[in-house]
Amino acid sequence: MPVPSAFSVANKRAVLATMHGKEQVIRPLLEGGLGLRVVLPDGFDTDRFGTFSREIERTGTQLDAAHAKIEAAFEHDPEAHVATASEGSFGPHPFIPFVPLGREIVVLLDRDSGLELIGHHADLSTTFAHQTVETVDAAAAFAQRIGFPGQGLIVVGVADGNPVPGRYLHKEARTLGQLSAAVGEAIALCGAAHVETDMRAHRNPTRMRAIRRATIDLVRRYRSPCPQCAQPGFAVTERLAGLPCAWCGEPTIALRTEVSVCAGCGHRIERPVEAATADPGQCNGCNP
């Protein structure tokens, strides 16, 4: 089913709210997949909405930050009809110990129609690591393990064992010599240095790949119209657990149904999984 003209974004001017090179992966997909004319705003500062290095805290949720970037991009480029922004979130996996989880969203808003689409990608292979060191050699060993300089690193000052960017912060080390010098300065000032992966997209190759995948998901959602009203974005919005156990028949943690809901008309479709029963290993009763 073709996208109705009321929701078409083909040939519209789209401003991309970024200052860290995300256009490398987002622009080709939005231009090739949606027909947008993507432009970059000159002198646009996305750091004001929060930095991974902590000197500016992000307020609100991941989606709130993306919305703030989009609003600012429209103000920056009044001629744009569409704006898009991405936002990442990183931390420990909620269920798998010691495994980091990265979540990327890419948000597109067409202010002519009010259409908003959000592409998602969750990544277990994200490069998200840190180490507090007291010697330059320890920092160099960490850098080698993490893939520096391909993967960027940030050096932060330390107070009471915690990173404090207000005491020291260096983001732009491109060589081992520059990194060693920054670590030495932080150690001289604070007694230790906190060295962590740079989560800015242009210094983090795994994050850039994740942003690309989130953009692909956004394009896929645009090409998924609601069967009732044809508004783009009819995709899976919820996954329900509860597939019955093959042994006892009680609900398990296994996926039972995928639910798609249209943001426009509310049309809802539930699609059960193909399996009739779940492995007993996913049952709290049979495998407590």
Considering only residues 256 and 93, tell me which one the structure prediction assigns the higher pLDDT: 256
Q: What are phi and psi of 137, to 5 degrees?
A: -60, -40
- The per-residue pLDDT for range 151-187, each reduced to its tens digit, is 999 999 999 999 999 999 999 999 999 999 999 999 9
Is the pLDDT confidence value at 20 over 70? yes
Domain boundaries, given as residue ranges, for the chain: 5-126+202-225, 130-197, 237-282
- The per-residue pLDDT for range 105-132, each reduced to its tens digit, is 999 999 999 999 999 999 888 888 999 9
Asked if 108 contacts 174 with a C-beta cutoff of 8 angstroms, the reply is no
Q: Which tokens in the block code for residue 153?
A: 């690193």
Q: Which tokens in the block code for residue 231?
A: 């508004």
Residue given tokens 């002198």 in the structure block: 43
Rounded to an integer, the average pLDDT of 141-146 is 97
Considering the four listed CATH numbers 3.40.50.10150, 3.40.50.720, 3.90.480.20, 3.30.420.40, the one that applies to the domain covering 5-126+202-225 is: 3.40.50.10150
Asked if 100 contacts 91 with a C-beta cutoff of 8 angstroms, the reply is yes
What is the pLDDT, as a whole number, of residue 95?
67
What is the pLDDT, as a whole number, of residue 86?
97
Burial of 218 from C-beta contacts in 10 A (0-12 / 13-18 / 19+): buried
Q: Which tokens in the block code for residue 36?
A: 């947008």
Per DSSP, the residues of 122-180 read: EETT----EEEESSHHHHHHHHHHHTTTTS-EEEEEEETTEE-TTT-EE----SHHHHH
Q: Are strands 130-133 and 255-261 parallel, antiparallel or unpaired?
A: unpaired
In order of 45, 114, 148, 179, the CA distances from 81 in angstroms are 20, 10, 40, 43
What is the pLDDT, as a whole number, of residue 35?
97
What is the pLDDT, as a whole number, of residue 133?
98
Confidence of residue 54 (pLDDT cuts 50, 70, 90): confident
Distance in angstroms (rounded) separating the CA atoms of residues 160 and 170: 19
Rounded to an integer, the average pLDDT of 200-219 is 96
Peptide bond preceding 78: is omega within 30 degrees of 0, i.e. cis? no
The pTM score is 0.89
- The per-residue pLDDT for range 264-288, each reduced to its tens digit, is 999 999 999 999 999 999 999 998 7
CB hemisphere CA count around 63 (13 angstroms): 7
Q: What mean pLDDT, rounded, does the chain reach? A: 94
Instruction: State which amino acid sits at residue 91.
Output: G
Domain 130-197 carries which CATH code? 3.30.1490
What is the pLDDT, as a whole number, of residue 1?
60
Confidence of residue 99 (pLDDT cuts 50, 70, 90): confident
Rounded to an integer, the average pLDDT of 181-209 is 97
